[in-house]
Amino acid sequence: MESERAILAFAALAQPTRLDVFRLLIAREPEGLPAGDIARHMTVPQNTMSTHLAILTRAGLIEAERQSRSIIYRAKLDAVRELAFYLVKDCCGGRPEICAPLIADLSPCCTPKNEATQEAVHE
């Protein structure tokens, strides 16, 4: 990932409505949601949401697919990994031992090692 694309992604996520939309679409993986449903979900005018969706798409964070009269949007999960990697790659390239714990803490969230713990991460 080059700098310009990272800027686009961060700018896209630096807006409350768009950040919520991206997280909503991540939660709705892999089915996705049509544009209209997203607008209703966020209580935002339909054309305003269309602009936000275009910005997220241009940033490579989500993707669109027409399905009959609706356009289904889906989160591109790889984008999160690419962004995080872009930030830390210089650090890791030179000194892996510094970034190791950073990733170690993130892994438990997604590793279904023990599903029967006393606390659910879900809210």
Partner DNA sequence: TCCATAATTCGAGATTACTCGATATATGGA
Partner DNA sequence: TCCATATATCGAGTAATCTCGAATTATGGA
Q: Which part of the chain contacts DNA (CB under 7 A), choosing from 20-28, 69-77, 89-97, 111-119?
A: 69-77
Secondary structure class of 98 (helix, strand, coil):
helix
54 is an interface residue for a second copy by CB under 8 A: no
Secondary structure class of 72 (helix, strand, coil):
strand
Sheet holding 33-34, edge to edge: 33-34, 70-75, 62-67
Residues 25/32, Cβ–Cβ less than 8 Å: yes
Q: Which part of the chain contacts a second copy (CB under 8 A), choosing from 33-41, 46-54, 64-72, 115-123?
A: 115-123
Cβ distance to a second copy smaller for residue 50 or 82: 82
Q: By rule CB under 7 A, what string of x and - marks binding of each residue 18-37 to DNA?
A: ----------------xxxx
Cβ distance to DNA smaller for residue 53 or 79: 53
Positive or negative, the CA dihedral 64, 65, 70, 75 is negative
Cβ distance to a second copy smaller for residue 31 or 69: 31
